[in-house]
């Protein structure tokens, strides 16, 4: 079970804010894959989160139940029998996850409408781990249904699951930390490389805008 840290004088966010390099008064979160839905949960429940970026993440809690105070958010249900195997022998499990909007999965949905700050969703269109496009759309519809602003969402055709910083090589497959098996991530080299370079710039611009009040940043160079 994942345990979400409480916001308190001795909590981890308070500790971060005490760092000399942190301007405050709020902090930004950046999460990828499972780390993304953890960031969504933190933004929804903890105070002091000013801006949140998620890269190819689910809008529901996944893999294990999450506990916060007296609340337990169950994990999104799945069926491992729905997986497929690529020609190279890699596991493709994008279709194993049930739809978060189904009645049986409502309790796994993260209450994004409770968040104080804005969101940026980075979405890969060739993601073979999560249905990232679907999850970003659900998040947008949920926020707007509760009177919140539509989140910024950026779509990258041809990019795979692992959006790393610019100039990192494309990781089309790797051994999954939980399953212990080689998993297919997707992505085409040229499109994925361009996505990583642009996403890095977009993330910095988003954080500078909502944390520092700046409208733009200088583009990075190799």
pLDDT digits (tens, 9 = 90+) for 25-73: 778 999 999 999 999 999 999 888 899 999 999 999 999 999 988 889 9
The tokens of 193 are what? Answer: 């490389």
Averaged confidence pLDDT in the chain: 88
Q: Could you confirm whether 161 is annotated as catalytic? A: yes
Q: Determine the 3-state secondary structure of 40 from DSSP.
A: helix
* Domain limits, the chain: 2-8+24-212
Tell me the average pLDDT across 121-132: 96
The tokens of 161 are what? Answer: 């699951």
Which residues are within 8 A (CB) of 152 and not within 5 positions of it... i.e. 6 or more apart? 118, 119, 120, 121, 206
Give the active site residue among 161, 185, 192, 210: 161
Give the active site residue among 108, 124, 126, 127: 127
d(CA 136, CA 125): 11
Q: Could you confirm whether 106 is annotated as catalytic? A: no
- pLDDT reading at 217 higher than 70: no
- pLDDT reading at 3 higher than 80: no
Q: Could you confirm whether 127 is annotated as catalytic? A: yes
At the top level of CATH, the class of 2-8+24-212 is alpha beta
Which among 150, 129, 154, 132 has a CA at the least distance from the CA of 204? 154
- Distance, first Cα to last Cα, the chain: 40
Label residue 24 by pLDDT band (50, 70, 90): low
């Amino acid at each position: 079970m994942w345990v979400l840290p409480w916001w308190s004088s001795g909590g981890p966010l308070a500790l971060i804010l005490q760092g000399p390099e942190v301007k405050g008064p709020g902090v930004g979160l950046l999460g990828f894959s499972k780390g993304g839905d953890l960031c969504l949960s933190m933004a929804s429940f903890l105070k002091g989160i000013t801006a949140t970026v998620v890269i190819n993440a689910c809008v529901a809690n996944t893999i294990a139940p999450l506990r916060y105070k007296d609340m337990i958010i169950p994990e999104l249900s799945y069926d491992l029998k729905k997986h497929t195997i690529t020609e190279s022998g890699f596991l493709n499990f994008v279709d194993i996850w049930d739809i978060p909007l189904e009645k049986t999965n409502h309790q796994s949905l993260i209450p994004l409408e409770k968040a104080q700050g804005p969101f940026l969703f980075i979405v890969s269109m060739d993601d073979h781990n999560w249905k990232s496009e679907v999850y970003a759309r659900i998040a947008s519809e949920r926020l707007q249904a509760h009177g919140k602003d539509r989140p910024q969402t950026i779509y990258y055709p041809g990019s795979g699951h692992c959006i790393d910083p610019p100039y990192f090589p494309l990781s089309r497959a790797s051994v999954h930390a939980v399953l212990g098996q080689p998993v297919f991530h997707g992505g085409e080299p040229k499109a994925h490389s361009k996505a990583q370079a642009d996403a890095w710039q977009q993330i910095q611009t988003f954080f500078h805008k909502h944390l520092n009040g700046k409208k733009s940043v200088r583009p990075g160079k190799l």
